[in-house]
Amino acid sequence: MKNLFSLYLLSISLFSNFAWSQTTDELLKNKQESLEVQQEKVSEILDEIEDLKLQRLREVLEKYIPQDPQKYEIVTHSAMILSYNEKHEQANWVMHIIPKDVIVGTVTRTNDFRQDSSVSTGTANVDDYWESGYDRGHLAASADFRWSKKALSESYYYSNMSPQVPGLNRNAWSDLEAQVREWVVDYGDLIVITGPVLNDTLPKIPQGSHRVSIPTAFFKIIVDMNQVTPRAIAFLFPNKNVSYQPNKYVVTIDSIENLTGINFFPNLPDAETFESQSDLSKWKLSNTKLNQAPQVVYDLDHVPTRQAIYFLGKECNVCGKVIATRFNKSTKTQITYINFDEPYPNTPFTAVIFGKDRINFTYEPEVYLKDKMICVYGMVQTYKGKPQIIVNDEKQFSIYKTK
């Protein structure tokens, strides 16, 4: 009898444990399903927020549409508006706004070059550029849209392309594009209008069915509407392999209007206040060439500090000059901050060493690394919107070496 009672208690115990285990599994499953539902809702909300941001940008852009000397087709996309010139198979101009969201944008290049179905007469295609010796140069830079997957993808329409000499597209022009994004960090949202200088005497790319014209020069206009009095700066670069000397190529908007016949701000009563401006000293320029990396091909061994934000979640070597350091002994974690290229709070990138890891250093990092050109290897993360790498060992640091 005693044995039977013991077996009874054992069976109750086993059943109870099984029931408890089953209940836990069910609870876990329910929580996972609930999490998936919430994640879907968050994803939907983020998509709605992005759509609203794009709508806001278009509403602003539509207020400032340039006036062409002839009637051309105006095409509106998610985050850019352009005037398409069928004769030259490219845009007369492309206008977009670079918002501050670009600072934390993580969308990578899509390289999905394709025809623009929104242009009624059709656009150029891959055959028109293939082995032509010219790059498919973005007018509105793809990196300007890294905050929006949809807008970035649309920047690869051939309506946003123009034949550029590779030496210009991958160097000086790319440096200028990077500088404009840095101005967004410094000054806020900027209106940008970019285009080729077109005329009837331009040569054509010989192959392909569309015969794309080869411009002799490109302009870029930048307008800062965040000031009490709007200000602007403009550049005119020849379609050649030239060095990046912004002072050499700065011009007025008036001069570009005279050259192209385009009235860039016909609906802005006070446009005259900035269309004659060409004082580059009022615009903060990058301190070093290191901060002006080409956007065509990234080198994971030498990522400039201001481009580190584009590599979130990836391991790479971020390189720059150590401008300021600080070892905070007063906190429990005793963090060491290594700030690159500019002091806090404007530093574009920081290497962070926690106190527990200082044992892995044979030197005092805040002393030894100060004022040196170095690279730091690790996974790029963000803290309060700024990119950083957590350093656990001195082997992650190396002296910066050019190729």
| Residue 224 belongs to domain with CATH number | 3.40.570.10
Q: Judge whether 20 lies within some domain.
A: no
Instruction: Yes or no: say if 89 and 210 are a contact pair by the CB < 8 Å rule.
Output: yes
Q: Judge whether 344 lies within some domain.
A: yes
Which of 286, 311, 340 corresponds to the end of one domain? 286
Q: Identify the weakest region by mean pLDDT among 18-32, 62-76, 124-138, 358-372.
A: 18-32
Instruction: Yes or no: say if 307 and 317 are a contact pair by the CB < 8 Å rule.
Output: no
Indicate if 156 and 79 belong to the same structural domain: yes
Indicate if 194 and 263 belong to the same structural domain: yes
Measured between alpha carbons, how far is 101 from 54 in angstroms, rounded to an integer?
11
Q: Judge whether 27 lies within some domain.
A: no
- Token digits of residue 379: 């996974």
- Token digits of residue 92: 């007369």
The residue among 191, 159, 162, 194 whose CA lies nearest residue 73 is 159
Indicate if 172 and 273 belong to the same structural domain: yes
Which of 286, 313, 341 corresponds to the end of one domain? 286
- The distance from CA 247 to its chain's CA centroid, rounded to whole angstroms, is 24
Domain count, the chain: 2
Indicate if 248 and 372 belong to the same structural domain: no
- Token digits of residue 129: 């550029």
> pLDDT tens across 55-91, in order?
999 999 999 999 999 999 999 999 999 999 999 999 9
Residue 138 pLDDT = 96
Q: What is the extent of the structural domain holding 342?
A: 303-399
Identify which of 28-42, 229-243, 382-396 has the greatest average pLDDT: 229-243
Please report the sign of the dihedral spanned by the C-alpha atoms of residue 262, residue 268, residue 271, residue 272.
positive
Residue 170's CB is within 10 A of a number of other CB atoms, namely 18
Q: What is the mean pLDDT of residues 380-403?
A: 85
Q: Judge whether 376 lies within some domain.
A: yes
| Residue 377 belongs to domain with CATH number | 2.40.50.140
Measured between alpha carbons, how far is 119 from 131 in angstroms, rounded to an integer?
25
Average pLDDT over the chain reads: 87
Indicate if 243 and 361 belong to the same structural domain: no
Residue 51 pLDDT = 87
* Entry pTM: 0.66
Indicate if 226 and 277 belong to the same structural domain: yes
Indicate if 169 and 226 belong to the same structural domain: yes
Please report the sign of the dihedral spanned by the C-alpha atoms of residue 102, residue 107, residue 109, residue 114.
negative
Three-class SS of the chain: CHHHHHHHHHHHHHHHHHHHHHHHHHHHHHHHHHHHHHHHHHHHHHHHHHHHHHHHHHHHHCCCCCECCCCCEEEECCCEEEEEECCCCEEEEEEEEECHHHHCCCCCCCCCCECCCCCCCCCCCHHHHCCCCCEEEECCCHHHHCCCHHHHHHCCEHHHEEEECHHHHHHHHHHHHHHHHHHHHHHCCEEEEEEECCCCCCCECCCCCCCCECCCEEEEEEEECCCCCCEEEEEEEECCCCCCCHHHHEECHHHHHHHHCCECCCCCCCCHHHHCCCCHHHCCCCCCHHHCCCCCCCCCCCEEHHHHHHHECCEEEEEEEEEEEEECCCCCCCCEEEEECCCCCCCCEEEEECHHHHHHCCCCHHHHCCCCEEEEEEEEEEECCEEEEECCCHHHEEECCCC
Q: Judge whether 265 lies within some domain.
A: yes
Indicate if 88 and 174 belong to the same structural domain: yes
Measured between alpha carbons, how far is 361 from 325 in angstroms, rounded to an integer?
16
Which of 286, 317, 338 corresponds to the end of one domain? 286
Residue 287 pLDDT = 52
> pLDDT tens across 340-349, in order?
988 887 788 9
Indicate if 327 and 259 belong to the same structural domain: no
